[in-house]
Amino acid sequence: MDLRGNLLDIRELRVTFHTYRGVIKALNGVNLWMDKRERLGIVGETGCGKSVTAQSVMRLIEEPGKITHGEVWFETRNLLALSEDEMTKVRGREISMIFQEPKSSLNPVFKSGFQIKETLLNAKKATPATAEAEVEKILGYVGMDAARVKNMYPHELSGGMAQRVMIAMALATQPKLLIADEPTSALDVTIQAQILELLSDLTHKMGNAVMMITHDMGIVAEFCDRVVVMYAGNAIEIAATKELFRNPTHPYTQGLLRAVPRVGRPGELKAIPGTVPDLVDPPEGCRFHPRCDYATEGCKKELPPLLEIEPGHFVSCYLCQDGGCKPVKKGEEEPW
Amino acid sequence: MATEKTSLSFLERNKPYIDDLKHTLFLFRKSKLTMVGFILIVIFLLVAFFGPLFAPYDPIEQNFPARLQGPSREHLFGTDQFGRDIFSRVIHGSRMALWIIFLVSAISGILGTTVGIIAGYFGGLIDDIIMRITDMFLAFPSLVLAMAFAAMMGPNFTNTIIAISLVNWTTYARLARAEAMKVKEQPYIEAIRSVGAGTGRILFLHVLPMCVSPVIVQLTLRMGTIILTAAGLGFLGLGVQPPTPEWGAMVSVGRNFLVDQWWISTFPGFAIVFVVLGFNLLGDGIRDMLDPRLRR
């Protein structure tokens, strides 16, 4: 098997949710990959499938959701082919996840130290004798007064502290991949910066790869090596962070960047017209075509393949085929 | 920071808990009926634990010369048709009642909670099957069902316990299921799964503790009913067998002599009323005291 990334390779992943309204096609053949120690950002609007992608990697999709197609290669194994028991061993030990709402992600009836200890023991990363010391060490890593915090219940922690405990818990088992599902969305801006810095330092030191799911372009620019832009269940553009900000190619990516305020760029922000399509009945072909200024008849027929327009820069758009990629004339307007 | 904390006295550190306890006691003292129930149950427990030490006669040994005597100084509650002292038998009967309450609560509580959290957590087909089974149990009046089980298995102490447990567990199963369904939707369950906890671990470490408190409250509320069911079975001859002192059976025996020797049925009957009333008053009181809507 020729894997595109040496840590993770998601191929043609399709996920559907069966509801009374119909079948929601949440993921429509997602392709993305990661190398070891890499920091990959996944951006997109609400409902574009960022979190579902993460949950599929962990195999935490709940009823009525179902992975209908695709492969998730983690190192040398296809995670979707593992038994539930084998998958339980992957979770926590090799892939960990932190969530958006840190305070409700901790069990309210146990002290935070106990919850970290349980995770360690469960992953067999510590023995009952060494666990206590290990917990204090880890809480120290995330910048907390271990002796005090380990005896605190989740309701006694602030949001930022709770997220630090979650990070401690997720990294305690030294996973190869940490999935962070909007880890700072529920926190205020100063705490956001601290948490990001902490994540950055720790994963740098421990050598974990990070999949950062966010809708904040600022976090992407700050934190990630490479970015995947998702729209309505597809990865539509993949590029190194600098390349993406310098040379956004998919019309949707361009729209996203135009909608972000920038220092030194006066004038109104331009929103992308229209709304995210209903995924029960998504548009045929490229799912962005109803909102796209450059859509042609061809866009309505078939989903454009992910093409490499420059080394490491992949785009799923018909405008970019045949070498020419000119959704916007250079020089005339460079709004991003 | 840590030293600052330890320098506080024990009372100061636990002030919120103590205040909460004081409030509970205040509510308790305000409700006369709860106090009455509490006192009745304390007396019942004391009698069950220590009564047999002071019981004047053996509850089983027969003494024909003294048969069918009315209440007197030697026999406070009189004697029955075999000359046994009813006072001693009622005291020993309280032990039997306590045993039945304890065993039935433990068996049906554990069984119901386990089945309930499994149904609630897994949902789907498993839930449907388990809930239809509990529906079948709930479709019959509990005494009738307990009678059927006891008659089927043969009347003795063990089977009485099994029969009453079998009709009681469904209540706890439904309660635990409702709680488990609520808990499994919590974000922390997903978070715990994502750090590698298996199903068994989640069920017993994270779901179970959240489900036991309503079950425990319900257990205390139903203790009166358990005694009543046990006495009912005993009365019908389907419960604990003579000569073991059991209140229901004693009432039943006394029926034959009710016109002339009223005391044989009456005193065990009073004992049943006394304890059932105590449990019901106390249970209602506890429920009100723990109800957050009625607190402060």
The span from the CA of B14 to the CA of B8, in Å, is 10
A23 in a domain, yes or no? yes
Residue A148 lies in a domain: no
Q: Establish if A88 touches chain B: CB-CB under 8 angstroms.
A: yes
ipTM of the complex: 0.78
Alpha carbon B157 to chain centroid distance? 16
Domain that holds residue A292: 8-106+157-323
Judged by CB atoms closer than 8 Å, whether chains meet at A63 and B186 is answered as no
Of B124, B188, B195, the CB nearest to A91: B195
Looking at the DSSP bridge assignments, the partners of residue A32 are A10
Structural domain contains residue A333: no
The answer on pLDDT for B1 being more than 70 is no
In chain B, the residue whose alpha carbon lies closest to the alpha carbon of A93 is: B196
Using CB atoms, pick whichever of A92, A108, A145 lies closest to residue B195: A92
Within 10 angstroms of residue B122's Cβ, the number of other Cβ atoms is 15
Handedness of CA A3, A287, A53, A203 (dihedral sign): positive
Reading the block at residue A137, the tokens are 């060490």
The residues that bridge with A315 in the sheet, in sequence order, are A237, A307
Q: Average of pLDDT values for A309-320?
A: 86
Confidence check: pLDDT of B177 > 50? yes
* Domain annotation covers residue A121: no
pLDDT in tens, A25-53: 899 889 999 999 999 999 988 888 888 99
Q: Do A88 and B198 touch (CB under 8 A)?
A: yes
Distance, CA of B47 to CA of B90 (rounded, Å): 10
In a domain, A234, yes or no: yes
| A89 residue type, one letter | K
**Residue A42 in domain:** yes
Contact check, Cβ <8 Å, A170/B195: yes
What CATH number should be reported for the domain holding residue A161?
A: 3.40.50.300
For the stretch A40-98, pLDDT in tens is 999 988 888 888 999 999 998 887 889 999 999 998 899 999 998 899 888 888 999 99
Interface of chain B against chain A, CB under 8 Å? 1-2, 123-124, 186-188, 190-198, 201, 205-206, 209-210
Inform me whether the pLDDT recorded for A331 exceeds 50: no
Look at residues B78, B83, B93 and name the one whose alpha carbon lies nearest to residue B250.
B93
Task: Please indicate whether, in this complex, the C-beta atoms of A91 and B124 are within 8 angstroms of each other.
Answer: no
Chain A: give the shortest CA distance to residue B113, in Å: 19
Interface residue A79 vs chain B (CB under 8 A): no
| A200, part of any domain | yes
Residue extents of the structural domains in chain B: 30-59+71-290
H/E element, A71: strand A65-74
Is residue B15 predicted with pLDDT exceeding 50? yes
Distance, in angstroms, between B230 CA and closest chain A CA? 37
Residue B135 is predicted with a pLDDT of 93
**Looking at the partner chain, which of B124, B194, B210 has a beta carbon nearest the beta carbon of A60?**
B194
Total tally of structural domains belonging to chain A = 1
CATH 1.10.3720.10 fits B30-59+71-290, yes or no: yes
Would you say residue A27 lies in a domain?
yes
Q: What is the 3-state secondary structure (H, E, C) of chain B?
A: CHHHHHHCCHHHHCHHHHHHHHHHHHHHHHCHHHHHHHHHHHHHHHHHHHHHHHCCCCCCCCCHHHCCCCCCCCCCCCECCCCCEHHHHHHHHHHHHHHHHHHHHHHHHHHHHHHHHHHHHHCHHHHHHHHHHHHHHHCCCHHHHHHHHHHHHCCCHHHHHHHHHHHHHHHHHHHHHHHHHHHHCCHHHHHHHHCCCCHHHHHHHHHHHHHHHHHHHHHHHHHHHHHHHHHHHHHCCCCCCCCCCCHHHHHHHHHHHCCCCCHHHHHHHHHHHHHHHHHHHHHHHHHHHHCCCCCC
- Cα A148 from Cα B70, distance rounded (Å): 70
Whether A105 sits inside 8 A of B187 (CB atoms) is yes
